[in-house]
Amino acid sequence: MQTKRLTKLLLLLAAFALFAAACGGDDGDDEAVETEETAAPAATTEAMVEEEPMEEEMSMTPGEGVSVTMARADWSTGYFQAQVYKQMLEELGYEVSEPSEAELGPSLAYLAMAEGDVDFWANSWYPGHNSWWEPELPDGSTVGDHLEKVGAVFQGGGLQGFLVTKSVADEHGITHIDQINDDPDIRALFDSDGDGIAEIYGCQESWTCDNIITAQIAFSGWDNITQTIAGYDAMFAEAEAKMNAGEPAVIYTWTPSAYITQIRPGGNAYWIAMENVLDDSNPTGFDGGEEFDQRFYATGEEVRLDIPADQCPAADVDGFCRLGWVPADIQVTANKEWLAANPAAAALLREAKLSVIDVSLANVEQAGGKDTEAEIAQLAADWIAANRGTVDAWLETARAAA
């Protein structure tokens, strides 16, 4: 059973990786050079040949004696990578706090990093989280004045969007969320309380995606759709049960996660597209809401996802899958002063990169029951052991930067 599950997951994740894609010499110089005293002839004054200075040996633990406070996001799909970064920093000698001791939503995490209460986390989702850089602090600076984006946990790996029940979409020809808003008969399918408004499962409050969805609804004029904001796992369980039963449901989700192995595009669900993509007009007036723009990659290229029609039927209508979300760059964010004071840590955070598939597999292990702090830490340790050569190269770069 376990083998079948992992095989299936690998096939799914390989597809998602495709979607996102559519979106030395001799070391002798390191040794100390020794010289002998050279005596002048007896008839002359004795002289010493000046010794060449000894090169300092590179410390294996440049972070020794330095305490680091890190946070992690309050969504379980970010726990694994937080542990990986913690353990790598510990190999450099840093004393790193348990990420679970500072489990925060984005609004608090960026503020805590800006104020120096937290040094870094590995759970930023950009461009959406750019909005949290905008608030002003009491001294007149902004949160972002004190922060830096560091490296990339993975670029473009955060595929995100809405999923709709496959059988319902097939029966009623649903390819775009706009149809739910505009067609009274379709809307009625998703109206659980009979008030004439369709409900879609959105995000947990303070995750940023809840604010983005609210802005999408306002921008697209979806006056007949409302977002349910509640605990995500509870919403997901309800949506999954409906989709497995062939009942109408729409829910926001993302990769990497185990969620995408339970509500499966092309299986019990489809990715559902939208006709218009949120721009930088900030229709809800949210502080920093201009950063919710979902039209372009950081390169300026328009987001056009090459997801096949058997997983996103809108591809047959539009020629590509317009999910309405930029595949997120998942990155480390850190306090600038802390980075400057800890060059070895900064170098490691800039070098390290994880695999979307590896993180997703770890998420599946968590969903399968390996979800205690000790078990998640072991998953991270196992990943480091399996990627020892790559990790050692990152650590060597970090030590050289100290």
- The 10s digit of each residue's pLDDT in 110-147 is 999 999 999 999 999 999 999 999 999 999 999 999 99
Q: What is the pLDDT of residue 58?
A: 81
376 part of a folded domain:
yes
pLDDT of residue 219: 98
Domain match, 261 and 173 both: yes
- Least confident interval from 98-107, 292-301, 342-351: 292-301
Domain count, the chain: 2
Relative to beta strand 198-201, strand 160-165 is unpaired
Task: Give the integer Cα–Cα distance in Å for 382 and 172.
Answer: 47
Last residue of some domain: 326, 360, 391?
A: 326
Cis peptide before 313 (omega within 30 of 0): no
Percent pLDDT > 70 in the chain is 86
Which one of 326, 354, 379 terminates a domain? 326
Token duo for residue 223: 């006056």
Contacts of 288 (CB under 8 A, 6+ apart): 130, 131, 132, 133, 134, 135
Residue 75 binned pLDDT confidence (cut-offs 50, 70, 90): very high
- Separation CA 175–CA 316 (nearest Å): 9
Contacts for 13 with CB less than 8 Å, ≥ 6 apart: 255, 256, 356, 357, 360, 361
309 and 365 fall within a common domain: no
pLDDT at 25: 36
Asked, for residue 78, whether it belongs to a domain, the answer is yes
Residue 222 lies in a domain: yes
CA torsion, points 138, 144, 150, 154, in degrees to nearest 10?
120
Residue owning tokens 């083998």? 3
Distance CA(266)–CA(8), nearest Å, equals 13
Query: Is 27 domain-assigned?
Result: no
Would you say residue 313 has pLDDT above 60? yes
Say how far apart CA 367 and CA 374 lie, in whole Å. 15
Band of pLDDT at residue 48, cut at 50, 70 and 90 = very low
Residue type, 61: T
C-alpha span between 336 and 88 (Å, rounded): 20
Residues 317 and 349 occupy one common structural domain: no
Question: Quick check: 397 pLDDT over 80?
Answer: yes
pLDDT given for residue 26 in this prediction: 36
Residues 343 and 395 reside in one and the same domain: yes
Same domain, 269 and 201: yes
Tell me the CATH number at 100.
3.40.190.10
Residues 173 and 307 in one domain: yes
Q: What is the pLDDT of residues 14-33, one digit of tens each?
A: 444 444 444 433 333 333 33
Is the pLDDT score of 13 beyond 60?
no
pLDDT of residue 317: 96
- Domain hosting 90: range is 62-156+330-401
Q: For the chain, what percent of residues have pLDDT higher than 90? A: 83
Query: Is residue 334 located within the same domain as residue 301?
Result: no
**Per-residue pLDDT tens for 262-277?**
999 999 999 999 999 9
Looking at the structure, do residues 121 and 194 belong to the same domain, yes or no? no
Domain end, chosen from 286, 301, 326, is at 326
For residue 37, being part of any structural domain is answered with no
Task: Give the rounded distance of the alpha carbon of 256 from its chain centre.
Answer: 8
Residues 309 and 367 in one domain: no
Residue 42 lies in a domain: no
Tell me, what's the pLDDT at 156?
Answer: 87
Across 265-397, the runs of DSSP E, i.e. the strands, are 269-272, 328-335
In a domain, 341, yes or no: yes
150-199: pLDDT as tens digits: 998 988 889 999 999 999 999 999 999 999 999 999 999 999 999 999 99
E-strand ranges in 273-342 read 328-335
Flag the least confident range among 57-61, 239-243, 344-348.
Answer: 57-61
Question: Domain check: are 274 and 231 in the same one?
Answer: yes
Q: What is the pLDDT of residue 309?
A: 97
pLDDT band at 56 (very low <50, low <70, confident <90, very high): low
In a domain, 9, yes or no: no
Lowest mean pLDDT among 6-20, 45-59, 189-203: 6-20
- Is residue 67 domain-shared with residue 141, that is, in the same domain? yes
Q: Are residues 264 and 193 located together in one domain of the fold?
A: yes
Average pLDDT estimate for 53-58 = 59
3-state secondary structure of 148: strand
**Residue type at 58?**
M
Q: What is the CATH number of the domain that holds 261?
A: 3.40.190.100
pLDDT confidence band for 95 (50 / 70 / 90): very high
